[in-house]
A and B are shown apart, each in its own frame.
Chain A
Amino acid sequence: NAGVTQTPKFQVLKTGQSMTLQCAQDMNHEYMSWYRQDPGMGLRLIHYSVGAGITDQGEVPNGYNVSRSTTEDFPLRLLSAAPSQTSVYFCASSGWGGSGLTTDTQYFGPGTRLTVL
């Protein structure tokens, strides 16, 4: 099991550029989430998904889009990058997993460090 994988690990964008952060999990988890981590702010939920084809907004959704066409993948799109989106982005998943796991135990990817100039 690779767990939760994220690409790229680092990215530098110019203001106004667009890009997609990739996230994939191989645990057959129903739930996937995107968080951003900023100094002194902890983790804040951007978007989440409860299954393929179903997504919803979290605490800080503006400027980001998501889709979930498969159980495994949950990409995060920045439509027009702004300096305020400079952050570390974490993808997480959770699910029943068939092995006593519960949906509230989240598994995190290693993160993508994004800088917007």
Chain B
Amino acid sequence: GNSVTQMEGPVTLSEEAFLTINCTYTATGYPSLFWYVQYPGEGLQLLLKATKADDKGSNKGFEATYRKETTSFHLEKGSVQVSDSAVYFCALSPNSGGSNYKLTFGKGTLLTVNP
């Protein structure tokens, strides 16, 4: 079956530091890949996504590139802010057979950014 593995947290950084959160996946076919973010006390919201190999998703200074050869979708940001403190989830959609809505999530990575 499909699975997503992301780096264990928590991750603590100082403001303006570089962020990488690793994510690898196992899936058949050509899944779509996502990063969702959960701010304290809120539900998840889509941060970025990529639907095919070599696509780069980007939003709010975050980027992730769909690497089929390494089955990875690592999240990066060049300079984090305190407001980026949240839990980040990597996820995949099977993108086949009409079941795009069935997402598989990683366990989440808690990011804390200190001023």
Contacts and interface: CB of A to CB of B under 8 A. Distances in A.
Interface stretch (B14-22, B67-75, B77-85, B96-104): B96-104
A43 B43 CA distance: 11
B43 A111 contact: yes
Contact of B101 (A33, A43, A90): A33
Contacts of A31: 101
Interface of B: 4, 32, 34, 41-46, 49, 89, 93, 95, 100-103, 105-108
A106 B107 contact: no
Contacts of A35: 105
B101 A4 contact: no
Interface stretch (A14-22, A61-69, A70-78, A97-105): A97-105
Given A42-B106, A45-B103, A104-B95, 15 more contacts: A4-B43, A33-B102, A42-B108, A48-B102, A90-B43, A92-B44, A94-B101, A104-B34, A104-B49, A104-B103, A105-B46, A105-B49, A106-B101, A108-B43, A110-B41
B105 A42 contact: yes
A40 to B, nearest CB: 6
A43 B49 contact: no
| 4 A-B pairs closest in CB distance | A108-B43, A104-B100, A31-B101, A104-B93
Contacts of B42: 110-111
A110 B95 CA distance: 26
Contacts of B32: 104
A50 interface: yes
A12 interface: no
Interface string A48-63: 1010000000100000
19 contacts: A33-B101, A33-B102, A40-B107, A41-B107, A42-B107, A42-B108, A43-B89, A43-B103, A48-B101, A90-B44, A92-B44, A103-B100, A104-B32, A104-B34, A104-B100, A105-B34, A105-B46, A106-B101, A110-B43
